């Protein structure tokens, strides 16, 4: 005799599990009914994320910049009972004049950025990047500190389309932002790893 089918946990049940996680863990729901946890990132990841955020200060209305609300590690509720925590995300001020004080945010970002780590790279590229595009996030970046590479994806027809790259460039304009960024400073000094 077979076992009765189990009902997968609801979004609310999984979110309560995420809230109960120890401070050193982050949780995401990248597929309905499945909680994924990850530990805090390593040095290369932290440096790339910090300096990317620092480079975006001229655009970040949170700190006196213009045009965007740039948010680090924000819980975002996506359609289909999914929850993602992009390393960075941005909301155009013209579309979202004031970010609500809620967790998770129910407003989808206009831009998401994932900084790759060995433990999370597969999910960031194979699961989260398509989720962002499918959900209507207009732009996504994949920042790879090991290869010292930034890949810019525009959502076209619900899919991510590679539109620009930067690797160790001194200063470069990366959409959707209209100013130069000093990408070369984002990397831990040392050889590029393939």
pLDDT tens digits, one per residue of 155-171: 999 999 999 999 887 78
The residues, any chain, with a CB within 8 Å of residue 47's CB and separated by 6 or more, are 145, 186, 187, 188
pLDDT in tens, 94-142: 999 999 999 999 999 999 999 999 989 999 999 999 999 999 999 999 9
pLDDT of residue 1: 55
The residues, any chain, with a CB within 8 Å of residue 39's CB and separated by 6 or more, are 24, 25, 26, 119
Contacts 24+ apart (CB under 8 A), 33-41: 33/8, 33/9, 33/81, 34/8, 35/9, 36/123, 38/119, 38/120, 39/119, 41/115, 41/117, 41/120
Q: Which domains does the chain have, with CATH numbers?
A: 41-186 (3.90.1570.10)
Residue 64, pLDDT above cutoff 70: yes
Q: Which two tokens stand for residue 153?
A: 């994806």
The residues, any chain, with a CB within 8 Å of residue 31's CB and separated by 6 or more, are 82, 127
Report d(CA 153, CA 96) in Å as an integer: 22
pLDDT of residue 193: 52
Give the CA radius of gyration of the chain. Answer: 17
Tell me: cis bond preceding 155? Omega within 30 of 0 counts. Answer: no
């Amino acid at each position: 005799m077979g076992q009765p089918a189990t009902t997968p946990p609801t979004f609310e049940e999984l979110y309560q599990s995420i809230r109960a996680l120890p401070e050193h863990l982050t949780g995401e729901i990248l597929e309905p009914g499945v909680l994924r946890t990850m530990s805090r990132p390593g040095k290369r990841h932290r440096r790339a994320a910090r300096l990317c955020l620092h480079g975006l200060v001229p655009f970040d209305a949170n700190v006196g910049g213009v045009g965007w609300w740039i948010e680090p590690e924000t819980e975002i509720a996506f359609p289909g009972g999914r929850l993602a925590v992009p390393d960075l995300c941005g909301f155009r001020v013209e579309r979202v004049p004031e970010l609500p004080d809620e967790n998770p945010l129910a407003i989808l970002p206009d831009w998401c950025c994932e900084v790759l780590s060995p433990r999370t790279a597969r999910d960031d590229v194979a699961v989260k990047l398509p989720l962002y595009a499918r959900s209507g996030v207009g732009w996504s970046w994949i920042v790879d500190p090991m290869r010292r590479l930034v890949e810019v994806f525009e959502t076209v027809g619900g899919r991510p389309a590679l539109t620009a790259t930067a690797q160790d460039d001194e200063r470069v304009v990366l959409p959707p932002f209209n100013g130069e960024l000093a990408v070369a400073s984002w990397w831990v000094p040392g050889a590029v790893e393939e």
